[in-house]
């Protein structure tokens, strides 16, 4: 009884007070309960892929949004993990729960390899230089078509799980857990240093912090999460193909994240869960599909340049002028210090 | 072979330079990474196809018309979509991608996914030393050189040029000195898109027109501008030449791997960047984040 | 109080948004249903003054990049077959007559190959088609054949991807899993290569005769893709057996927009023949630059772009005399079906059909198999599909043990086509082809109406000097 009362109180005091928290909780519950509403394989597929891409987009946000190391070549991590996973599974017959972590580790390694030469680069230079990496890797894939399958990619991979609904839960739960971890990282002490590096790297270095270490750590972490996404995607689609390394793949992560709201993690998730299903729905519009999609992105960003989550959050919540605690927009006084909200 | 590399490197380099200089200009003046830059190039190529081939206008009318229209579209896009949210750099970045996608899809809807060709202004070729160069390429090199010289003159000798250069060096101080930074940026956008449009109309008869033709040159342009140093006109020009020569050398020395020319050019670019993180002629932007 | 209400309203709204974004929306989404039959169909129905009542419909999904020419061709070919079948009273299955209905599936696979599989799954779930046809880009077709065969056990007839591995190594190794896959067009990539080698031989003979060069030099210009890898590796060994000298391989990207540098390299190598292998858009800048710069080497091989009506204008006429493999040609009577098919197609759609348009045959092969089976049950239809023996525009269709098109004399062979003064004509091969001169010297294959291969005039001129 006491437990129920405590949890009720928690829900009332910590969740129901803020509309955005309510939305987040509803979103999570809806995702987890979705299979009760519909068993439609197509919807489960779209949501599973959206979950995988949400991990990918959030990993970009971690590196670029928080640490400010804007990467235009994020598909590199995705692709490296995808190919590693696929090769291990196909050639050695290892199951997904072994290949995906190894694929992610390969992405971490690549994160280090890319991170080290890029340490000296700043701002746009870094972003545009990272664009080169997936293209170079794509070149290598076509140099050894016998091994990497060239334009065919590597197919004949075991599926993530035997049933779609299992695959769905693997993708969704992993997405929720990993995004929560990423969110916690950005909230931790490391996250504060990440923030600081973005804002003023020299000042951070002056405070005696080894920025090189933290920047490399960011590359590795981001590579790890993007790599998990790549491995999941490969096992879900049962193929690793060169288009996973294409420029558009990298751009997609950036579009989703900035659309949702950069440097928030949850913005990346929201961006993917809005834009990816939209693009699917728009298949009905046939040849106007991408046009409508591009126009939506264009208009939304024109009106809400900080991204959709930041925009809505600012509409739904206000910061208490005195204690800086967030309040629902309709409150007359702060929920913590009872000072008047203006 | 050496003369081959020289001639073909110059030919390719000229077109790349044209695109890269424009990209670099608008970055310098407004700090906008305009990923739609090569989409304007594509738009101009299609405009010249539409006016020259479909409407059968004479090239003397079709070409300037295309350049003017595309430039106007560029300025319009700048005023409507970029200027109001210029503070949000990431949003501007994605807006430029969205603009490029809109152009691509509009072209796909209007002209279809077919590959299109435009007639050369002058057909035929010359072959000095046995190297075949089409007249169109010669003409392109001529127009490119003229345009670049013109841009250089504008930047160095006019009030507008001084304004562009000063706002490239320090936007805030330029603003404090009473310059209308937004209008300078718009003028720079016009020059930048105009250069892309000129490249587009000249190259239309050389390349194949298709709705995705903006992506491959975009990668090259990005590589060139950071190799040369963002915001540096000289750097962009030299970067373009370096990448073009690398590409051509790859094709001549290892023909079986000529598809690797972009990858190898990018690898060399990275090596140079590791040695010189701000590119060949870039200004190290200490005060900026 | 008012604020409280507002608060609740906002939360309800937010909930609705979340649910909307989460995919309740796709539920009511429907794929574009096939457009109403063309005008001429309506006219015919009026003339027949007898409207056929159908008992049901056979749904066939056409999956392809519908905004691009490949998808358009697939759609047009299938649509033509659908209209013909429905006009002729539909398909009789058992005691019932069925009409054919096509469902267009925009896979957008050229831009986003891995997303294509979602579109295919969507149509399977929302429309439950009996059969699927189409598929263009191999990277997209691989996963969606996986899905169709493994998850949904539906028949998929490939009409556009030539890669051997789509069928080979699948049906022969695990028949029960993969028996749902068939290919109608084109012939598999290794057979394509065989044909181009025969065409190359034809060009080599012309070079010997007309230029007096005993051992012509050949340079390979092949896009850097996996499907031609084996050939590029083997070519230096194959060429000497044909009396040809191999001078080098150039491999631009399949999407390169400029190959002047490669052409200069070929010219410098002294080649008289360029052996091209292009499936990608690079074929157009190649044709244009080859013609405009008058590169002194005859061009032969596969250039998929050169198989289309749009090639001539796109190369500004400079692609003339390019010699490429194709499925059928308007002047060549491969079978009695060929010319009527092409003429009707050109009449309806204003363009020459390319190999993707043989979705036409695929629709017929499927409906005829269903008719013979007397049921739409997948397994029964597969058994009948395997018995297919059909004379089509491209030749005689018989499926081999891999469910692939049987290649060879008397079956489907493809042919050489050459642009001659702006017309795409069947030329050079097979006119007097002896597939097996030692064991069967009497077997000579040739098609009615083909014209001889012509060396490009600029090549003739420059080598005669």
Instruction: List the CATH number of the domain containing B244.
Output: 1.10.3470
Mean pLDDT of B153-177: 87
Asked whether residue B143 is assigned to any structural domain, the reply reads yes
Partner-chain contact A277 C106, CB within 8 Å: no
CB-CB: which of C250, C254, C295 is closest to B255?
C250
Hey, CA dihedral for A312, A313, A317, A322, is it positive or negative? negative
Q: Are strands C217-222 and C245-250 parallel, antiparallel or unpaired?
A: parallel
Helix (H/G/I), strand (E/B), else coil: C416 = strand
Phi then psi for B126, rounded to 5 degrees? -115, 160
The alpha-helical segments, DSSP class H, found in C242-303 are 260-268, 283-292
Please give the model's pTM, rounded to 2 decimal places: 0.89
Cβ-Cβ contacts under 8 Å for C103 (sequence gap 6 or more): C31, C32, C33, C34, C59, C60, C61, C62, C123, C127, C129
In a mutational test of the C interface, the residue from B1, B41, B137, B251 whose CB has the highest number of chain C CBs within 10 Å is B251
Residues of C in contact with B207 (CB under 8 A): 257-258, 285
Q: Chains meeting C at 3+ CB pairs closer than 8 A?
A: A, B
Using a CB–CB cutoff of 8 Å, tell me whether C225 touches chain A.
yes
Instruction: Tell me how far apart the alpha carbons of residues C305 and B140 are, in angstroms, rounded to a whole number.
Output: 26
Q: For the residues of A3-23, what is the DSSP string, one character each?
A: HHHHHHHHIIIIITTSHHHHH
Q: What CATH class is the domain C190-326+413-464?
A: alpha beta
Q: What is the ipTM of this complex?
A: 0.88
Partner-chain contact A145 C229, CB within 8 Å: yes
Tokens of A146: 């016998």
- pLDDT above 70 covers a percentage of chain A that reads 100
Residues of C in contact with A46 (CB under 8 A): 23, 26, 118
Q: Give the nearest chain C residue to B54 (CA atoms).
A: C313
Q: Give the nearest chain C residue to B131 (CA atoms).
A: C264
In a mutational test of the C interface, the residue from B2, B14, B111, B113 whose CB has the highest number of chain C CBs within 10 Å is B113
Partner-chain contact A135 B262, CB within 8 Å: yes
Mean of pLDDT over chain A: 90
- C266: closest CA of chain B, how far (Å): 9
Give the 3-state DSSP-derived string for B181-249, with helices as H, strands as E and coil as C: HHHHHHHHHHHHHHHHHHHHHHHCCCCCECCCCCHHHHHHHHHHHHHHCCCCHHHHHHHHHHHHHHHHH
Helix (H/G/I), strand (E/B), else coil: C86 = helix
Mean pLDDT of B66-92: 91
Residues of B in contact with C260 (CB under 8 A): 8, 11, 132, 137
Length of chain B: 289
pLDDT in tens, B87-127: 888 889 889 999 999 999 999 888 887 888 888 888 888 88
Residues 20-79 of chain A with CB under 8 A from chain B are 68, 72
- B126: closest CA of chain C, how far (Å): 9
Nearest CA-CA partner of A200 in A67, A72, A26: A67
Q: In the A/C pair of chains, how many CB contacts fall below 8 A? A: 144
Q: Give the nearest chain A residue to C147 (CA atoms).
A: A237
How far CA B232 is from CA of A220, B23, B236, in Å, comes to 33, 10, 6
Instruction: Tell me how far apart the alpha carbons of residues C415 and C421 are, in angstroms, rounded to a whole number.
Output: 19
Tokens of C129: 């088609």
Cβ-Cβ contacts under 8 Å for C435 (sequence gap 6 or more): C408, C409, C443, C445
Partner-chain contact A42 C118, CB within 8 Å: yes
- C135: closest CA of chain A, how far (Å): 13
Bridge partners (DSSP) listed for residue C132: C61, C156
Q: Are strands C56-64 and C96-106 parallel, antiparallel or unpaired?
A: parallel
Q: In the B/C pair of chains, how many CB contacts fall below 8 A? A: 113
Under the banding of pLDDT at 50, 70 and 90, the label for residue A55 is very high
* pLDDT number for residue B178: 86
* pLDDT number for residue A165: 92
Phi then psi for B69, rounded to 5 degrees? -60, -45
- pLDDT block averages, 10 residues each, chain C of length 465: 50 48 38 43 45 82 88 93 92 90 89 88 91 91 89 92 87 91 90 90 91 91 85 85 91 87 90 91 90 92 90 89 91 89 92 91 93 91 92 90 89 90 88 79 80 90 80
Cβ-Cβ contacts under 8 Å for C130 (sequence gap 6 or more): C58, C59, C60, C154, C155, C370, C376
Partner-chain contact B88 A305, CB within 8 Å: yes
Mean pLDDT of B184-208: 91
CB-CB: which of A122, A124, A301 is closest to B91?
A301
Partner-chain contact B117 C315, CB within 8 Å: yes
Using a CB–CB cutoff of 8 Å, tell me whether C117 touches chain A.
yes
Using a CB–CB cutoff of 8 Å, tell me whether C68 touches chain A.
no
* Sequence spans of domains, chain A: 40-247
Asked whether residue B284 is assigned to any structural domain, the reply reads no
Residues of A in contact with C142 (CB under 8 A): 152-153, 155, 239, 241
Partner-chain contact C143 A19, CB within 8 Å: no
- B98: closest CA of chain A, how far (Å): 5
Instruction: Tell me how far apart the alpha carbons of residues A302 and A310 are, in angstroms, rounded to a whole number.
Output: 14
Q: Give the nearest chain C residue to A152 (CA atoms).
A: C139
Instruction: Tell me how far apart the alpha carbons of residues C272 and C275 are, in angstroms, rounded to a whole number.
Output: 10
Using a CB–CB cutoff of 8 Å, tell me whether A151 touches chain C.
yes
Instruction: Tell me how far apart the alpha carbons of residues B84 and B101 are, in angstroms, rounded to a whole number.
Output: 20
CB-CB: which of C3, C26, C225 is closest to A280?
C26
How far CA B174 is from CA of B167, B180, B283, in Å, comes to 5, 8, 17
Q: Count Cα neighbours of C22 within 13 Å in the Cβ-side half-sphere.
A: 22
Q: Give the nearest chain C residue to A37 (CA atoms).
A: C24
Asked whether residue B286 is assigned to any structural domain, the reply reads no
Partner-chain contact B216 C250, CB within 8 Å: no
CB-CB: which of C104, C114, C125 is closest to A243?
C114
* pLDDT number for residue A290: 87
Using a CB–CB cutoff of 8 Å, tell me whether A35 touches chain C.
no
* pLDDT number for residue C52: 63
* pLDDT number for residue B54: 83
Residues of C in contact with A22 (CB under 8 A): 11, 14
Residues 245-284 of chain C with CB under 8 A from chain A are 254
Q: Is the pLDDT of residue A87 over 90?
A: yes
Partner-chain contact A142 C225, CB within 8 Å: yes
Partner-chain contact B289 A136, CB within 8 Å: no
Residues 100-129 of chain B with CB under 8 A from chain A are 101-102, 104-106, 108-109
Mean of pLDDT over chain B: 88
Partner-chain contact C15 A49, CB within 8 Å: no
* Sequence spans of domains, chain C: 46-186+337-397, 190-326+413-464
- pLDDT above 70 covers a percentage of chain B that reads 98
Asked whether residue B254 is assigned to any structural domain, the reply reads yes
Residues of A in contact with B97 (CB under 8 A): 251, 254-255, 297
Which chain C residues touch B if contact means CB-CB below 8 Å? 65, 67-69, 110-111, 223-224, 232, 248-258, 260-265, 267-268, 281, 284-285, 288-289, 292-295, 305, 310, 313-316
Partner-chain contact C261 B132, CB within 8 Å: no
Q: Give the nearest chain A residue to B260 (CA atoms).
A: A139
* pLDDT number for residue B289: 36
Instruction: Tell me how far apart the alpha carbons of residues A141 and C139 are, in angstroms, rounded to a whole number.
Output: 14
Partner-chain contact C314 B132, CB within 8 Å: no
Q: Which residue bears the tokens 């790549």?
A: A230
Q: Give the nearest chain C residue to B212 (CA atoms).
A: C111
Q: How many domains does chain B have?
A: 1
Q: Are strands C323-326 and C298-303 parallel, antiparallel or unpaired?
A: parallel
Partner-chain contact B91 A307, CB within 8 Å: yes
Using a CB–CB cutoff of 8 Å, tell me whether A260 touches chain B.
no
Q: What CATH class is the domain C46-186+337-397?
A: alpha beta
Partner-chain contact C292 B11, CB within 8 Å: no
* pLDDT number for residue C51: 58
Nearest CA-CA partner of C377 in C45, C74, C94, C90: C94
């Amino acid at each position: 009884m006491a437990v129920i009362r405590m949890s009720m109180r928690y829900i009332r005091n910590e969740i129901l007070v803020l509309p955005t928290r309510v939305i987040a909780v509803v979103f999570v519950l809806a995702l987890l309960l979705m299979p009760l509403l519909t068993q439609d394989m197509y919807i489960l597929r779209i949501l599973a892929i959206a979950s995988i891409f949400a991990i990918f987009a959030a990993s970009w946000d971690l590196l670029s949004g928080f640490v400010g190391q804007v990467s235009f070549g994020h598909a590199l991590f995705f692709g490296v993990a995808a190919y590693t996973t696929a090769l291990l599974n196909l050639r050695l017959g290892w199951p997904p729960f072994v290949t995906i972590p190894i694929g992610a580790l390969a992405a971490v390694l690549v994160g280090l390899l890319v991170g080290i030469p890029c340490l000296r680069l700043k701002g746009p230079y870094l972003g545009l230089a990272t664009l080169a990496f997936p293209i170079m890797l794509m070149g290598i894939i076509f140099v050894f078509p016998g091994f990497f399958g060239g334009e065919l990619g590597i197919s004949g991979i075991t599926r993530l799980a035997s049933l779609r609904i299992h695959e769905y839960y693997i993708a969704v739960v992993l997405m929720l857990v990993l995004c929560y971890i990423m969110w916690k990282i950005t909230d931790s002490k490391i996250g504060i240093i990440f923030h600081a590096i973005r804002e003023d790297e020299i000042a951070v270095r002056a405070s005696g912090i080894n920025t090189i270490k933290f920047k490399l750590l960011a590359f590795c972490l981001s590579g790890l999460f993007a790599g998990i996404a790549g491995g999941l995607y490969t096992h879900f689609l049962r193929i690793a193909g060169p288009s996973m390394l294409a420029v558009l793949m990298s751009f997609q992560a950036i579009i989703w994240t900035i659309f949702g709201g950069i440097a928030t993690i949850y913005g990346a998730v929201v961006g993917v869960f809005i834009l990816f299903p939209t693009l699917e729905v728009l298949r009905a519009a046939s040849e106007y599909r991408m046009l409508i999609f591009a126009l939506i992105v264009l208009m939304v960003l024109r009106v809400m340049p900080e991204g959709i989550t930041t925009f809505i959050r600012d509409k739904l919540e206000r910061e208490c002028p005195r204690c800086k605690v967030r309040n629902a927009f309709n409150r007359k006084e702060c929920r913590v210090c009872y000072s008047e909200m203006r | 072979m050496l003369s081959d590399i020289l001639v073909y490197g110059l030919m390719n380099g000229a077109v790349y330079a044209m695109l890269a200089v424009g990209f670099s200009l608008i970055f310098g003046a407004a700090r906008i990474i305009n990923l739609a830059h090569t989409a304007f190039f594509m738009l101009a190529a299609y405009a010249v196809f539409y006016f020259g081939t479909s409407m059968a206008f004479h090239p003397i009318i079709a070409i300037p018309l295309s350049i003017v229209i595309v430039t106007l579209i560029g300025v319009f896009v700048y005023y409507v979509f970029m200027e109001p949210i210029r503070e949000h750099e990431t949003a501007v970045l994605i807006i430029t991608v969205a603009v490029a996608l809109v152009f691509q899809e509009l072209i796909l809807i209007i002209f279809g996914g077919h590959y299109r060709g435009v007639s050369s202004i002058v057909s035929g070729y010359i072959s000095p030393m046995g190297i075949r160069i089409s007249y169109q390429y010669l003409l392109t090199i001529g127009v490119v050189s003229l345009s670049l010289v013109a841009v250089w003159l504008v930047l160095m000798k006019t009030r507008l040029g001084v304004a562009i250069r000063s706002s490239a060096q320090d936007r805030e101080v330029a603003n404090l000195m009473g310059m209308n930074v937004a209008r300078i940026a718009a003028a720079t956008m016009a020059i930048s898109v105009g250069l892309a449009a000129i490249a587009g109309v000249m190259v239309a008869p050389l390349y194949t027109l298709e709705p995705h033709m903006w992506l491959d040159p975009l990668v090259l342009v990005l590589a060139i501008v950071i190799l040369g140093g963002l915001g540096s006109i000289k750097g962009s020009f030299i970067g373009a030449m370096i990448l073009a020569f690398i590409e051509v050398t790859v094709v001549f020395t290892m023909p079986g791997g000529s598809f690797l020319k972009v990858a190898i050019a990018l690898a060399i670019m990275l090596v140079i960047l590791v040695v010189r993180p701000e590119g060949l002629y870039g200004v190290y932007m200490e005060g900026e984040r | 109080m008012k604020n409280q209400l507002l608060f609740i309203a906002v939360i309800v709204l937010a909930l609705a948004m979340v649910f909307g974004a989460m995919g309740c929306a796709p539920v009511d989404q429907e794929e574009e249903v096939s457009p109403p039959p063309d005008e001429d169909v309506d006219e015919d129905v009026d003339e027949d003054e007898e409207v056929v009542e159908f008992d049901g419909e056979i749904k066939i999904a056409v999956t392809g990049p519908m905004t691009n020419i490949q998808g358009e061709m697939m759609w047009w070919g299938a649509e033509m077959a659908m209209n013909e079948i429905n006009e002729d009273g539909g398909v009789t299955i058992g005691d019932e007559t069925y009409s054919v209905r096509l469902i267009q599936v925009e896979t957008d696979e050229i831009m986003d190959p891995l997303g294509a599989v979602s579109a295919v799954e969507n149509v399977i779930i929302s429309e439950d088609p009996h059969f699927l046809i189409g598929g263009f880009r191999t990277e997209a077709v691989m996963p969606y054949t996986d899905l169709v065969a493994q998850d949904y056990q539906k028949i998929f007839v490939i009409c556009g991807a030539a890669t051997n591995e789509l069928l080979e190594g699948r049906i022969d190794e695990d028949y029960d899993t993969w028996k749902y896959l068939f290919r109608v067009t084109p012939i598999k990539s290794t057979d394509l290569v065989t044909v181009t080698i025969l065409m190359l031989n034809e060009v080599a003979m012309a070079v010997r005769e007309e230029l007096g060069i005993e051992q012509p030099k050949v340079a390979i210009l092949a896009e850097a893709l996996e499907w031609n890898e084996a050939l590029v590796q083997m070519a230096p060994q194959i060429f000497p057996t044909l009396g040809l000298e191999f001078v080098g391989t150039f491999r631009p990207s399949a999407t390169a927009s400029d190959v002047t540098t490669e052409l200069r390299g070929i010219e410098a190598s002294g080649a008289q023949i360029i052996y091209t292998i292009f499936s990608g858009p690079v074929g157009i800048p190649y044709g244009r630059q080859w013609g405009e710069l008058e590169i002194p080497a005859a061009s032969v091989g596969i250039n998929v772009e050169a198989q289309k009506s749009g090639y001539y204008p796109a190369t500004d006429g400079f692609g003339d005399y390019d010699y490429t493999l194709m499925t059928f040609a308007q002047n060549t009577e491969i079978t009695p079906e060929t010319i009527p098919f092409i003429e009707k197609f050109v009449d309806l759609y204003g363009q020459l059909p390319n190999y993707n348009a043989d979705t036409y045959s695929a629709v017929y092969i499927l409906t005829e198999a269903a008719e013979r089976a007397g049921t739409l049950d997948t397994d029964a239809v597969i058994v009948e599909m395997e018995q297919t023996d059909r004379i089509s525009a491209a030749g005689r269709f018989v499926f081999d043990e891999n469910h692939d098109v049987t290649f060879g004399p008397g079956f489907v062979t493809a042919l050489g086509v050459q642009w001659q003064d702006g017309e795409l004509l069947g030329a050079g091969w097979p006119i007097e082809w002896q597939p097996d001169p030692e064991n069967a010297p009497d077997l000579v294959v040739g098609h009615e109406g083909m014209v001889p291969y012509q060396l490009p005039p600029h090549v003739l001129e420059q080598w005669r000097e």
